Structure 1
Amino acid sequence: MSLAKVPCTIVTGFLGAGKTTLVRHVLENAGGRRLAVIVNEFGDVGIDGEILKSCGIESCPEDAIVELANGCICCTVADDFVPALKGLLDRPSPPEHIVIETSGLALPKPLVKAFNWPEIASRVTVDGVVAVVDGAAVAAGRFADDPEAIARQRAEDSSLDHDNALGEVFEDQILCADLVILNKADLMSADAVASVTDQIGKTLPRAVKVVEAANGQVPIDVLLGLGARAESDLASRPSHHELEGEHDHDDFDTFIIDLPAFPSQQVLADRMVKAAEQHDVLRMKGFVHIAGKPMRLLVQGVGTRIQHQFDRKWSAGEARQGRLVVIGEKGFDRDAIRALIAG
């Protein structure tokens, strides 16, 4: 019976790790497979969906890319995820493989559990959970929690009543993985790669392959066809949130900045760096119009690391309105960030 099920690959990973780039690479190298994508947004603007839809891949048309923008996918299983999955399965030509890109703040285990829901249990299976890790960020210690240091800090500061929320999210994604992609390995030294790989290995409770990558370039046969049946293997995927019915994202905040046209991409990048340096910004991602350019600029930032590229031409009659999603820890100064970036 499991052989008749449509395999699904869950792509998880922290903010800016490169999940969308990886999924786009899968679509562009589908090898004739009929694919579908469910992409989850943290916020109400479909940035990731727009990136994927601009691929123009025949085996994954735009109507096979479903965006869920009503909050974290692991918190809206009944209302959003299950109906979206059923809608894809009920298509006249259902997909042969479904790729699910979670938001950077999602815990993957509740989503894996959802595959046991009666409405979909007989129709789909989790082929594998792929965790994308920003190797350069982890090497710099951004999400590498030291339990002893945290314990000392908690003992000294009575206001701390829980562990680092970012570290828990990061570890939960690794703990659930069937494959770990160490992305941005080209930005790391050999020693740093070895150190992060060792750190990931110590986090994992079981043997999981770690694959180095640059810009999400991983052979599709490495990503698809893992045959993990993860929904039947929940016990080997521990979680920091095991005893919680669901989790919330009260430690994070997100908002959207409407952007004017910019004279150059460097002007925008410089402003984003300044905002990240002066405020607690984790992630920025969006589109912008560069004056005099016929193509739309895709811009992404993780901390002070900013990347940008022209991804497609503006469509005829399309409003050249830039938008940027900004994600950070609760309490950052929205007005100040907006003023720094939009001017």
Structure 2
Amino acid sequence: MPAKIQATVITGFLGAGKTTLIRHLLANAGGRRIALIINEFGDLGVDGDILKGCGDATCREEDIVELSNGCICCTVAEDFIPTMEALLARPDRPDHIVIETSGLALPQPLIRAFNWPAISTKVTVDGVVTVVDGKAVTEGRFAHDETAVAAARAADDSIDHETPLAELFEDQLACADMIVVNKSDLLTSTELSSTMEALKSGARASVQLVSSAMGALPADVLLGMQTGAEADMEARHEVHHHHHHDDDAEDDDHHHHHDHDDFESFVVTRPEITDPKAFCLQVAEVIRAHDILRLKGFAAVTGKPMRLTIQAVGPRIDSYFDQPFGSTPRETRLVVIGQAGLDRAAIEKALSA
């Protein structure tokens, strides 16, 4: 019987740096053929497109699958298991599978799904990686912008809206085999040491803690833990009581009826920009003026064949050139997420100025 394929589950709240870490991993895979499953949120598959921009033969577009029908642990039977079966049935099976969760739901039910008969003999959990925003944790918060995290959760009607987000954060840590303290470049050496010590004191004895800046960690650090996490659920059980995620699809429907009308998202499209730095300053000003919680997307820059990726959580904006536009239209497309009542016309006008 062929050896089981190893799968790594990466979780962490909005803005912690999961997508940046995964993109770095894909671009530095060391010859490994990695398949990626993404639990997406938003009107535009920006996170998926960002990851498809790695431009390496080891992360082809056909190896990247986006699941956008709700939190992955609530759609195991409908989405996750069929996706895994399809990957495992391919003649060119991947060497490793990376699963990026939305970070808005518990990782434990997803890990338990690896015990399903359809996949249990073919794939195993190499490890669970929880990415945390080191700057935020040092300042006593679980995320850079806790309001933005709450908004993203409220806009997804497939997940538990009742449990305090701070408790979900603790459960992400409880399930981890590795905790990545990201954004270490924003901390002093004393702050970083203190934060890592605090996280380590509350983690299981076997958990590894590493720090990173911009998610830049070697593949050999993230992959190859070989924990077989699905067979070790007692050690990584939920710290807090949550609603049950039943395997029955009818029960899924019963448990997940939530009102998300308090938040909205829309896409703004505009022509090319001429000055990336000035445009990022413009975006930051629009975010401040209109209380935008989250903004992400791409910009076409005059004279540049590469597209500019823009990601903003609250007032913090990251931007970089990732890949050529190729046959896709040279235009700027941004997803705007915020509380209901956003002045869409004013925001579109400000972003198009």
CA contact (8 A) 2:52 2:61 kept: yes
Mapping of residues 92-171 of structure 1, within 5 Å? 92-143=91-142, 165-171=164-170
Q: Deviations over 1:294-320 (max 9, x none)?
A: 32110011221111112122214x222
1:112: how far off? 0.9
> 307, 311, 324: which is aligned to 1:313?
324
Q: Which amino acid aligns with 1:22?
A: L
Please report the RMSD computed on the Cα atoms of aligned residues, expressed in angstroms.
Answer: 2.8
Measure the CA separation in 2 of the matches of 1:32 and 1:293. Answer: 29
Measure the CA separation in 2 of the matches of 1:122 and 1:94. Answer: 15
Mapping of residues 169-318 of structure 1, within 5 Å? 169-239=168-238, 242-246=241-245, 253=263, 255-261=265-271, 262-278=273-289, 281-316=292-327, 318=328
The 3-state SS of whatever aligns with 2:117 is coil
- Deviating beyond 6 angstroms after TM superposition, the runs of 4 or more aligned structure 1 residues are none
Compared CA separation, residues 81 and 29, structure 1 to 2 (3 A): same
CA contact (8 A) 1:45 1:69 kept: no
> What is the aligned residue count?
324
Compared CA separation, residues 256 and 173, structure 1 to 2 (3 A): farther
Compared CA separation, residues 142 and 111, structure 1 to 2 (3 A): same
Question: 2:47 aligns to what?
Answer: 48
Measure the CA separation in 1 of the matches of 2:213 and 2:311. Answer: 16
Question: 1:149 aligns to what?
Answer: none
Measure the CA separation in 2 of the matches of 1:36 and 1:64. Answer: 5
Q: Which amino acid aligns with 1:73?
A: I
For structure 1, the residue ranges without an aligned partner over 5 or more in a row are 145-161
Compared CA separation, residues 107 and 331, structure 1 to 2 (3 A): farther
Measure the CA separation in 2 of the matches of 1:239 and 1:339. Answer: 46
Compared CA separation, residues 189 and 39, structure 1 to 2 (3 A): same
Q: Which amino acid aligns with 2:294?
A: R
Question: 1:31 aligns to what?
Answer: 30
CA contact (8 A) 1:43 1:71 kept: no
1:41: how far off? 0.6
> 331, 338, 342: which is aligned to 1:333?
342
Bigger mean CA deviation after superposition, 215-224 or 285-294: 285-294
The 3-state SS of whatever aligns with 1:120 is helix
The 3-state SS of whatever aligns with 2:50 is helix
Q: Deviations over 1:7-47 (max 9, x none)?
A: 10001111122212211222222222222111121123221
The 3-state SS of whatever aligns with 1:99 is strand
